[in-house]
Amino acid sequence: AQSVTQPDIHITVSEGASLELRCNYSYGATPYLFWYVQSPGQGLQLLLKYFSGDTLVQGIKGFEAEFKRSQSSFNLRKPSVHWSDAAEYFCAVGLMEYGNKLVFGAGTILRVKS
């Protein structure tokens, strides 16, 4: 069955430090992968997506992610975190044969300390 694992429930980083959020997926076909961010009381906002082509994808707010098929991973990175990045981050795989319904991981809560 399709699944997404985000191993880290909480991560705390200092403002200005680099960030990497881990995501592993289980899916039999070519995956379509997404990272969303959710601030308290807000809906989900798409940070970036991978469909095909270059395995390093750039997103909004200075985020990037790298698709590694051999590791079934799609880790999210940012070179320098800002206090406003504190939020919950969700990795998801899109199931194209089902109209692109999304299977989400459990999320990683990012805390930024000044």
Q: What is the Cα–Cα distance from 50 to 94, expressed in whole angstroms?
A: 10
* Residue 100 interacts with other proteins (CB under 8 A): yes or no: yes
Q: How far apart are CA 97 and CA 29, in angstroms?
A: 10
Of residues 2 through 61, those in contact with other proteins by CB under 8 A are 4, 32, 36, 41-46, 49, 51-52
> Least CB distance from residue 93 to other proteins, whole Å?
11
Q: Rounded CA gap, 16 and 109, in Å? A: 17
Give the binding site for other proteins (CB under 8 A). Answer: 4, 32, 36, 41-46, 49, 51-52, 90, 92, 94, 96, 98-107
